[in-house]
Amino acid sequence: MDKWLNHPTAMKIISLALGIILWAVVHFDESQPTTTVPTSNYEYKTVNSVRIQATGLNAQNYVLQSMSADSVKLYVRGSKTDLLRASSDDYTVYVDLSTVTEGQHTLRLQTELPRGVEQVSITPSTVTVAVEELQTKEFEVEVTTKGTPAKGYKAGIPVLSPTNRVHVTLPSSGLAKVERVGGTVSVEGESKTIKSKSVKLAAYDSEGNVIEGAVLDPAVLEVEVPITNPYKLVPLQFKLIGQLPSGLSIASFKPETEQVTIYGPQDVLDTIEFVEADVNLSELTQTGEFAVPIKGVASITEFSPAEAKVSVEIVLSQIRSLQGLPVTIEGVGDGLAAKIVEPATQVVDITVRGAPAILDKLQPGDVDVVADLSGRGLGSYTVPLTVNSPRFVDQAGGNLTITVEITEAATEEPTDETAATDGTETGAGETGSTGSGGAGSGSTGSGGASSGNSGSGSTGTGTSGSGGASSGSSGSGNAGAGNEASQADGASGAGGAETDQPTTNQESQAPASH
């Protein structure tokens, strides 16, 4: 026997037989279904919380709103080896939604199990799904800022690109809840304009909550947020400096820029009412459009525009004389009066220069000639004259002067009624030594309605008295007339007439001092 086993041929036959047996065993296990395994070889297992997968839904047109269950319990059987070899991820439960439309549907669950494992039961075996059709609507995007820029700066309105509108896709019930579509960008501490900032967008309901599941197209936009100083729009005033070249005048001056936006701290802006642009006349030699810089202001960081444009028409000058212009006297001190003593006519002639079209329309009343006596006391002065003329009309020739005499202003004289009262009370007897001025009481007075020798009337003035409302030696009455009642100056007056005469002359000049 041992000799036979040691024979090479015998060993080959035995090996071949063992190989055939092993092949048959393996082939038998793979080809036979698990259901053919004798019942006595089954083992059972419960697989809990297997998640249900929804498959086949047309996601472009529909959305799964709800499903009555999201997981199931599987009861399976198989060989111990197969059950141990299978992990929980090898068990698949799904519901096929490929044929459903909008509405509620109850569908049977389907399973995919590991090899060698078969399903005994599934709980639940069906699910009810709610499917809703998707709708799309266009919304305007609103991007808001959060935070505070650097001190003294302000955040402007965000600008979106490439568009400010997006399409939102949601079930009809969800789309009705969309109040706005927007995003948020931070400006905290910023002092420069924020450029090309990507902002993720979302759909919000009326309470500001994000609506989940909304599909936005596009979902991200680029935003630019201007960060600027506070600003203010103010008028622009042009200031003419220098002199035009000899022989030239401005015929028209038309600003094309009338307002300027200025940027700076708010407290500085609050104090600025206008800005200026200097036009240097010495640089203008011909008609044209000119750009002049805005004059800088402390703490103002930016002007918009930075330059102002103006159209100027330059023409050859023309000369014109204006004769007999009155002189306005200004600055006369309190208690003083002034009169022009030279020229005696109290008017002056001036020569002006300007564009022919402007001079043709010029009227004497358009030009003011002023003498300023500010700070001057009693005495005689030679005073330079200031000529105030319309724009682009200049005084030609040398400076003009006048001679002015400043005196004390006359005090206000009593009225006729006051003089009569004083004469009635003090006039007594037929002869007095001398008349006293001011109140109009004479040496020989008449009171009441009776008549005196030379005076008459109810006001009662004396023959040799002076003063009162009528300056002269003989008075005039209101109710009746005496021998000399109509005369302004009487021959029999003494003292009073000489004293009053200068005062009267000064008063006659009073209108010239205004």
The 3-state secondary structure of 435-488 reads CECCECECCCCCCCCCCCCCCCCCCCCCCCCCECCCCCCCCCCCCCCCCCCCCC
Cβ of 461: how many Cβ atoms within 10 Å? 35
Helix segments in 72-114, DSSP class H: 80-85
State the CB neighbour count (10 A cutoff) for residue 267: 10
CA pair distance 433, 310, nearest whole angstrom = 82
Question: What is the CATH code of the structural domain delimited by 319-408?
Answer: 2.170.120.30
In the chain, domain spans:
39-124, 135-228, 231-316, 319-408, 413-514
* CA 361/CA 358 separation, integer angstroms: 5
Q: How far apart are CA 296 and CA 292, in angstroms?
A: 12
**How many other CB atoms sit within 10 Å of the CB of residue 271?**
8
The span from the CA of 313 to the CA of 143, in Å, is 50
pLDDT at 19: 80
Pairing relationship of beta strands 43-55 and 92-96 according to DSSP bridges: parallel
- Tell me the two tokens of residue 364: 């004497």
Neighbours of 212 (CB within 10 A): 9
Helix, coil or strand: residue 215: strand
Bridge-based pairing of strands 126-146 and 180-186 is parallel
**CA proximity to 115, closest of 43, 34, 37:** 34
Contact yes or no for 507/446 (Cβ under 8 A): no
Task: Check if the beta carbon of residue 281 is closer than 8 Å to that of residue 244.
Answer: yes
Q: Mind listing the pLDDT tens digit for each residue in 361-401?
A: 999 999 999 999 999 999 999 999 999 999 899 888 888 99
Measured between alpha carbons, how far is 419 from 492 in angstroms, rounded to an integer?
19
For domain 135-228, say whether CATH 2.170.120.40 is its number.
yes
DSSP, res 288: E
* Closest C-alpha among 170, 166, 167, 165 to residue 213: 170
Cβ contacts of 22 within 8 Å, gap of 6 or more: none
pTM for the model stands at 0.39
Alpha-carbon distance 338 to 383, whole Å?
A: 12
At residue 504, what are phi and psi to the nearest 5 degrees? Answer: -65, -40
What tokens were used for 495? 């003292």
Give the type of residue at 490.
Answer: G
Whole-angstrom distance, CA of residue 471 vs CA of residue 498: 10
- Residue 278, strand partner residues: 239
Closest CA relative to residue 300, chosen from 192, 228, 193, 225? 228
Secondary-structure breakdown of the chain: helix, strand, coil percentages, each rounded to the nearest 5: 20, 40, 40
Q: Are 407 and 381 in contact (CB under 8 A)?
A: no
**Fold agreement (231-316, 319-408):** yes
Distance CA 499, CA 434 (A): 14
Which helix (H) or strand (E) covers residue 355, if one does? none
Q: What is the DSSP string of 220-250?
A: EEEEEE-EE--EEEEEEEEEEES-PPTTEEE
CATH 2.170.120.40 is the classification of domain 231-316: yes
∠ Cα 331 333 336 (to 5°): 120
If DSSP states are collapsed to H, E and C, what string results for 94-152? EEECCCCCCEEEEEECEEECCCCEEEEEEECCEEEEEEEEEEEEEEEEEEEEECCCCCC
pLDDT the model gives residue 409: 87
Highest CATH level, class, for 39-124: mainly beta
To which residue do tokens 């001092």 refer? Answer: 513
Q: Which two tokens stand for residue 470?
A: 């009528």
Report mean pLDDT in 10-residue bins for the chain, 514 residues.
Answer: 65 80 65 44 90 92 91 93 90 94 93 93 95 93 92 87 93 92 93 90 94 92 90 92 90 92 88 93 90 90 91 93 93 92 92 93 93 92 93 88 91 54 39 36 35 35 35 35 33 34 32 32
Query: What whole-number distance in Å separates Cα of residue 304 and Cα of residue 302?
Result: 7
Contact (CB, 8 A) for 406 and 379: yes
What number of H helices and E strands is found in the chain? 8, 31
Of 131, 138, 132, 87, give the one whose Cα is nearest residue 113.
87
CA distance 197 to 194: 7
Euclidean distance between CA atoms 330 and 375, whole angstroms? 11
Instruction: State how far the Cα of 87 lies from the Cα of 50, in Å rounded to an integer.
Output: 11
Going through 367-441 in order, the beta strands assigned E by DSSP cover 368-372, 379-388, 394-396, 401-408
